[in-house]
Amino acid sequence: MKDYESILVNRLKKYNLKKDVIKVFLELIKIKSKEDNLDILKNFGITDKDIKNFCEIKQILLNTDECLKKRINPIFDYLKDFIYKFLDLFCNFTEDAIHNFVIDCIELGFVLEKENENIFDFYRAQNILSSYTIEAIRNYKDEHQDVSIDVFSLTASFVKFSHFASEVVSLAYYEKLIADKVHEVYVKSTRDPLSNLYNRTKFNDIKTHEFFRSKRYKTTLSLCLFDIDDFKKINDTYGHTVGDRVIRELGRIILDNIRKSDIAFRWGGEEFLILFTHTHMDEAKLACEKLLNKIRKAEIKEGENTIKFTVSMGITELKEEDDSIEKAVERADKALYNAKRSGKNRIEILI
């Protein structure tokens, strides 16, 4: 027996889903009875009689299949491959085919959401497919004068299967939609809108992870705490709008001059923090010197005035005896205080 759960997990990796969302879909393909490879369909109310009816429906559609494809193609081009699989499944009710179809349904729901395709297009395609199938069954019975064909029973079975596919696709679509919205809200809640850096909330979310990662793998972690020199004077002289522009420009300079592995935060007010992961203190100092020089060259134009600003920086690194990352932040804060007291616009280190 194939490991369908692993297949599904691997297919869904590219959508960056959380474990609890993936768990919802793993429940869909879980087989409760090893003796019944159609167990997954019965979870959706599809009976043995329905399965027999599907095979009969497929035989009826065999001669009209191409006509159906021609009707679907120009309307829902991006759905045609899925609909072909939907039709082909009628002749191939094997464990493998059913599980692959369910996995395709789940992935289609994610694709519809990711590509901003309308889920209602999918419903319309399903309705067209259902209407055409019901019409084909009635026409077949009339043309062949076959009284053994139970139009109502065949139609009911087909609608059941159509609803089964719709339920799985819809579940995937809305789960992904909700997951994306939750992620969007989280991102907004952890990013400072003015500087475009992470905020204190994000720091609190990752600090334990970064601390234990550094301890577990014996990797170095350096910190730089810094603030804008005489920021109150800038606000008092030019107004808070200019002060906001200074913070915005500083955020841009920081993001443009740190590595992807470094994490920058607006610590509060005019104060900022950078975590230099996998970085010794001397390497962090070189990075901060480069950043300090970039900041010294920055200018804000306000009418005829050109506003320049500087920062003072305090650097430290996580020590073996530290029992939390906050201990390193405290040392960086003391180093920052020393930089202020020593004339500002400079870097101080505290081991």
The answer to whether 63 touches 52, Cβ cutoff 8 Å, is no
In angstroms and rounded to an integer, the radius of gyration of the C-alpha atoms of the chain is: 31
List Cα–Cα distances, 76 to 109, 165, 224, 284, in angstroms: 15, 17, 55, 55
Which tokens go with 241? 């709008």
C-alpha to C-alpha distance for 3 and 187, rounded to whole angstroms: 35
Task: Based on the residue annotation, tell me whether 95 is a catalytic residue of this protein.
Answer: no
Token readout for 143 is: 């043309």
297: enclosing H helix or E strand: helix 281-297
Two tokens, residue 137: 């069954």
Please tell me whether residue 76 adopts helix, strand or coil conformation: coil
Q: Give me the amino acid identity at 286.
A: L
DSSP 320-334: TT-SSHHHHHHHHHH
Structure tokens at 268: 């509060």
Catalytic residue among 56, 113, 175, 270: 270
User: How many angstroms separate the Cα of 262 from the Cα of each of 57, 61, 222, 274?
Assistant: 60, 60, 10, 7
| Cα→Cα distances 13→10, 19, 146, Å | 5, 10, 50
Task: Supply the residues annotated as catalytic.
Answer: 270
